[in-house]
Amino acid sequence: MQRLPELGQKIGAPIIPVCETLRLCYAERPELAWHNADTVHMGMYGGYAVACTFYAALTGGAEFPPPAVLAQQVGIEPGIAEFIQKKARQALKTYPLPDASF
């Protein structure tokens, strides 16, 4: 993962650190179902982690929708949603995007 930002600079494309978000999430909460039963495709929490990472990157760190909204719409508990959002922000601090317009 450390070389991806360098690669992004070399080819002129931002690298959004989804893998880092997932790594951080899994390291702290391995009991959550990050993948579906097939262990290949993202589960609800993994998909939300991907979405949070893109949202944070593309909005420049704008506030996430309230976790209570997620609880109603997709069944992610507010505490888990906040945890995933925090890890997405942490990943972007570790691997910041270059100043670029999309």
- Condensed to tens digits (0 to 9), the pLDDT of residues 2-41 reads 577 677 778 877 888 999 999 999 999 999 999 999 988 9
Assigned domain for 12 exists: no
Assigned domain for 28 exists: yes
Assigned domain for 50 exists: yes
Whole-Å CA distances, 48 to 2, 11, 59, 98? 23, 28, 16, 24
Assigned domain for 70 exists: yes
Assigned domain for 8 exists: no
Token pair in block for residue 48 = 């939300």
Q: What is the pTM of this model?
A: 0.84
Using 50, 70 and 90 to split pLDDT, how confident is the model at 99? low
Assigned domain for 25 exists: yes
Assigned domain for 7 exists: no
Please state the domain count of the chain.
Answer: 1
Containing domain of residue 49, as a range?
A: 17-94
Whole-Å CA distances, 37 to 4, 42, 55, 84, 97? 29, 9, 26, 20, 33
Average pLDDT over residues 80-96: 91
Q: What percent of the chain has pLDDT over 70?
A: 91
Whole-angstrom Cα distance, residue 29 to residue 6?
29
Give the tens place of pLDDT for each residue, 39-71. 889 999 999 999 999 999 888 878 888 887 777
How many CA atoms does the CB half-sphere of 53 hold within 13 Å? Answer: 28
**pLDDT score at 1:** 55
